[in-house]
């Protein structure tokens, strides 16, 4: 049995689809929500001990918005996976958790990253032989639905839809963007190979935020809306670090970043415009 915690999110849904031909169970949020309090590992243990113990539990739930209260971020991003790992130690299942590459590079970048860094520190302090745990530090994902409005791609999409000026920094920040389907294929490759411990899930080909913005706005014929350098640069950012592709991902395929992002946002624009037109028609009828 394979269990997915956080099946309503982009990553959880993609993992469930990837295991669609297996015995996969997506837990309802009402089941695992109580597991996010410190010391709730006994609740997790009782749940899984009451039936067939899973082979793998993917903890794909997570809060991404750094504007949320730190306590709320810690509950989902730190205590929930920690409690599931503790239950897995007792019951013997393999737990797969997800962090961010920024938790190691700039751990205090914001409240979201800090909550992920706190979990990573907890994991580091554990006995590495106590349980089978694979902790994957991931980059930014796209695909599988509209981008979050507060994130860079979501902000660009909003500006393109409303035909308004898009103000940004110099855009020197380096990022890896991974399509969700490529990411899940890479995750399966790592898990199927029995890799445990902490690992950066990187392809090693970052692009700058400026390159992304210029490519996207140009591909939409809207370069005049782009205002590079209109916002101040953050003091702490990744302006030069390139993450290396781990050996476990040799041969894994990742689509080229710039054309893939442009195609994704163009599809989202077309989909949302089509939905609005359909809604207007239905209202008139």
Residues 16, 80: one domain? yes
pLDDT of 279 > 90? The answer is: no
Of 82, 117, 138, the residue at which a domain comes to its end is: 138
- Reported as a single tens digit per residue, the pLDDT across 136-176 is 999 999 999 999 999 999 999 999 999 999 999 999 999 99
Residues 8, 99: one domain? yes
Residues 159, 285: one domain? yes
pLDDT of 280 > 70? The answer is: no
Residue 238: closest CA among 202, 278, 267: 202
128 belongs to a structural domain: yes
12 belongs to a structural domain: yes
**Domains contained in the chain, number:** 2
pTM > 0.85: yes or no: yes
Q: Is 58 helix (H, G, I), strand (E, B) or coil?
A: strand
Q: How confident is the model at residue 277 (pLDDT cuts 50, 70, 90)?
A: very low
Q: Spell out the alpha helix ranges (H) of the chain.
A: 10-18, 29-32, 41-49, 70-74, 80-91, 102-105, 111-125, 152-162, 180-192, 209-219, 257-284
pLDDT of residue 282: 35
Residues 169, 218: one domain? yes
pLDDT of residue 140: 97
13 belongs to a structural domain: yes
Q: How confident is the model at residue 269 (pLDDT cuts 50, 70, 90)?
A: very high
Mean pLDDT of 181-195: 95
Give me the CATH number covering residue 163. Answer: 3.90.25
278 belongs to a structural domain: yes
Domain interval for residue 156: 147-175+206-232+244-285
Residues 107, 14: one domain? yes
70/52 Cα distance (integer angstroms): 35
258/260 Cα distance (integer angstroms): 5
4 belongs to a structural domain: yes
Find where tokens 């902790």 sit: 135
pLDDT of 257 > 50? The answer is: yes
14 belongs to a structural domain: yes
Residues 154, 133: one domain? no
Contact 183, 9 (CB under 8 A): no
Give me the CATH number covering residue 21. Answer: 3.40.50.720
**Mean model confidence pLDDT for the chain:** 92
Residues 47, 154: one domain? no
CA 134, distance to chain mean position in Å, is 15
Q: How confident is the model at residue 127 (pLDDT cuts 50, 70, 90)?
A: low
187 belongs to a structural domain: no
- Reported as a single tens digit per residue, the pLDDT across 207-231 is 999 999 999 999 999 999 999 999 9
162 belongs to a structural domain: yes
Find where tokens 């054309």 sit: 259
Residues 115, 166: one domain? no
Going by the DSSP 8-state scheme, the letter that residue 79 receives in this structure is: I
Torsion of CA 260, 58, 151, 79, to 10 degrees: -160
- Reported as a single tens digit per residue, the pLDDT across 46-80 is 999 887 789 999 999 999 999 999 999 999 999 99
Residue 5: closest CA among 89, 124, 115, 98: 98
């Amino acid at each position: 049995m394979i269990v997915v915690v956080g099946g309503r999110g982009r990553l959880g849904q993609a993992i469930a689809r990837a295991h669609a031909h297996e015995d996969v169970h997506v837990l309802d949020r009402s089941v695992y929500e109580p597991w996010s309090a410190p010391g709730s590992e006994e609740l997790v243990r009782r749940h899984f001990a009451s039936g067939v113990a899973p082979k793998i539990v993917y903890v794909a739930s997570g809060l991404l918005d750094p504007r949320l209260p730190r306590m709320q971020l810690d509950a989902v991003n730190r205590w929930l996976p920690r409690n599931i790992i503790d239950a897995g130690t007792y019951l013997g299942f393999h737990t797969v958790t997800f962090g961010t590459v920024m938790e190691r590079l700039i751990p205090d970048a914001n409240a979201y990253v800090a909550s992920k860094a706190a979990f990573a520190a907890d994991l580091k302090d554990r006995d590495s032989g106590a349980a089978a745990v694979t902790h994957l530090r991931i980059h930014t994902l796209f695909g599988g639905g509209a981008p979050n409005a507060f994130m860079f791609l979501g902000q660009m999409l909003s500006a393109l839809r409303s035909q308004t000026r898009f103000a940004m920094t110099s855009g020197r920040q380096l990022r890896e963007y991974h399509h969700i389907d490529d990411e899940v294929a890479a995750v399966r490759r790592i898990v199927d190979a029995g890799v445990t411990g902490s690992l950066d899930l990187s392809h090693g080909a970052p692009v700058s935020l400026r390159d992304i913005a210029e490519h996207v706005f140009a591909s939409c014929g809207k370069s005049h809306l782009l205002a590079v350098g209109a916002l101040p640069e953050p003091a702490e950012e990744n302006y030069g670090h390139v993450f290396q592709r781990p050996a476990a991902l040799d041969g894994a395929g990742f689509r080229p970043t710039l054309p893939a992002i442009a195609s994704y946002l163009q599809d989202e624009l077309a989909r949302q415009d089509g939905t609005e037109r359909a809604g207007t028609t239905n209202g008139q009828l």
